[in-house]
Each structure stands twice: as structure tokens, then as C-alpha cells.
Structure 1
Amino acid sequence: MYSSIPSGAIAFHPGARLRLAWVEGTVPAGFPSPAADFVVKRHDLNELLITHPAATFMWEARGLSMIDLGIANGDILVVNRALTPVHKCIVIAEVDGDFTVKQFYKRNGLVQLRSGNPTFAPILFRDGQTLTICGVVTAAIKRFR
């Protein structure tokens, strides 16, 4: 596991609270339905997105290599260093000193980092290369500007 927060990451600040309104139910993404009474309560984004505060950081994604897995350029990734990566989870990895966000592939002793875009080849490892999993991506926050 990675022992320090990479530069460019946003650290979680324990005790910081931001309670936002949460409307019960779901909102249709198709045709609107007649409005019902809305029940509004407050939720803290920290409680919704962060399970291990001391081991969590955020990092902005750059590029299009993960677009088909729901991560777009500019998304804010919530990364948990306390989780052990499993097959097909999305991770922040350091490969030979360079950081990347990819899907972790591990089957029958084969380890690869795969993109979520078919135009990007998987990262295959050769002898002498180093791979450090810095954390597991648990959420992507999208901003529409």
C-alpha cells in the first residue's frame, strides 16, 4: 500500500461536516411523473462516500482512458487506501513512478491494469517493473460546468 498521499491529491479532514438536503426516493431520468410530497432530510457527504477517513483521499482524473467505466476527465475520485484491491475494482496505481487510474485485473496469477476505453491497451507487466496499488476508487464525483 502507498504510505503517503500523492501530490495533487486532496486530503480528507476529519471532523469536517457538510450536510446537504437529500430528497427521499428517486428522480426519473425519462419523462417526469406527477410531483409527490418531498421528504427532505440532511445527509453528510463524508458519511455517504467515506468509510475510512484516515485512509481516504481525493484526486482529479485526467484523460479519457476510463470513460467506458464511468470516469470522465475532471471527475473527482474518492480513493480508499485501507481497502485491498480485488479483481475488476478500479484502483490508483503507481507503475514505475507514474500514477494512473485503471481497472485491476488479477486472474490465475496474471496481473494487468486495464483501461475503460478500447483505444487504450492494457498495462502488462514485465520483469523489473514495479506496481504499487495506492488505493481503491470507491466513488467518482462528477461536476457539470
Structure 2
Amino acid sequence: MTDLIWLGPLRQGQHQESLLLPLALEAVAAGFPSPADDYVEAAIDLNGVLIPRPSSTFLMRVDGEAMRGEGVHHGDLLVVDRSVAPRPGSTVVAVHEGRFVLRRLEGRPGRWRLEASDPNTPAIALCGENPDLLIWGVVMHAVHHLCAPSSRSRRRGAVTRASPEALGVEP
């Protein structure tokens, strides 16, 4: 089962300062532009691009490999928006049996199910009367690390395991 580690909500005004990073003019193919080339197009603020609705956005870290086939791996950082309505094919965070799970929403009204990309993980059928299941938010972005972050960078942000109850979700 893929568990999620709650990193906390982003609040309006929590990050007053923008961090503008250079945005390359060209997409990278298999090489790197010459240092002599003028390759910086503009500046980009990743908070504005990745988190357009801070008051309904949470960050969560993935714990497990059930969604590896979707390109979401253990340790990845998820940007989850609770204000976005899930649609078929959406990757969602749900509460199932009192725990957060990461799955893809499939089916149609009356026959919804949550599926993992791992074929050994059974689908979870959504029943309208099932109080143990709740779609908590839609995953907007997954930040995948190509090289593991150092232990020093992991200490900067407080990471806690939070139950759905701690976030105001009743199982």
C-alpha cells in the first residue's frame, strides 16, 4: 500500500517572498547549451506555477511504490489540491480504512474505483454509502528526485506522519 506523509498546508501569504529562478529559452535535448549562448529567457516562480491555490494546497511525500507505473515513486513530493474536482484518470489522495492512499480514479458514476499502477495491488471499489472512503484531494504535480536528497536537506522541513483525523477527516 502506498502511504503518504503529510508535510502541511500552504496558507495564503505563508510565502511572502517569491523565489525567481532562471528559465531556459530552449528545452534540453541530449546536451547542454554552450556557455557562450544566451539561454536564459526569463525568471519563473515555481510557487506560482505549481501552487496557484495555496489555501487549498497541501504537500505530501509518497511512502511506497504502488503508483510507480504512473511515474510516482517512494519519496516523491506531491502537490495536492483539495479544491479540484476529481475526474476519471485523475491521480487522487483518498482516505481508506483510516489511512491516506494514493490511487488513480477510474470508472463512471455508480461504478467508481481507485486503482494502483502496481498489478498486485487490488482496486478499491467506491460505494456511495462507504464511510471508510473519501477522495481527499487531486494530485496536481509530483516532484520526482533523480538523485536522492541529502539528509541535510531533509532536515530543513518538518515532516510528520499525520492521520486523516489529524487533518479533520473523520473515518
TM-score per shorter chain, which class? 0.7 to 0.9
Matches within 5 A, 1:14-53: 14-15=12-13, 16=15, 17-28=18-29, 30=30, 32=31, 35=34, 36-53=37-54
In structure 2, relative to structure 1, the CA distance for the partners of 1:8 and 1:34 (3 Å cut) is closer
Task: Give % identity.
Answer: 29
2:9 to 8, 11, 18: 11
1:109 offset after TM fit, Å? 1.8
SS in 2 for 1:113: strand
Contact 2:5 2:60 (8 Å CA) reproduced: no
Amino acid at match of 1:138: M
Contact 2:9 2:58 (8 Å CA) reproduced: yes
1:133 to 132, 135, 139: 135
**Alpha carbon RMSD of aligned pairs, Å?**
2.2
SS in 2 for 1:9: strand
Q: Residues 36-65 of structure 1: CA distance to partner in whole angstroms, max 9, x if unpaired?
A: 431242111111111211000100001110
The alignment covers a number of residue pairs equal to 138
Higher helix share: 2
Q: Residues 60-100 of structure 1: CA distance to partner in whole angstroms, max 9, x if unpaired?
A: 00111000101000000000000010001000000121110
Matches within 5 A, 1:1-145: 8-15=6-13, 16=15, 17-28=18-29, 30=30, 32=31, 35=34, 36-125=37-126, 128=130, 130-143=132-145, 144-145=147-148
Amino acid at match of 1:117: D
Q: Scaled by the length of structure 2, what TM-score is found?
A: 0.72
Q: Scaled by the length of structure 1, what TM-score is found?
A: 0.83
Structure 2: where are the runs of 5+ without partners?
149-171
Q: Distance in 2 between matches of 1:134 and 1:76?
A: 16
Q: Distance in 2 between matches of 1:43 and 1:124?
A: 41
Structure 1: where are the runs of 5+ without partners?
1-5
1:8 offset after TM fit, Å? 2.5
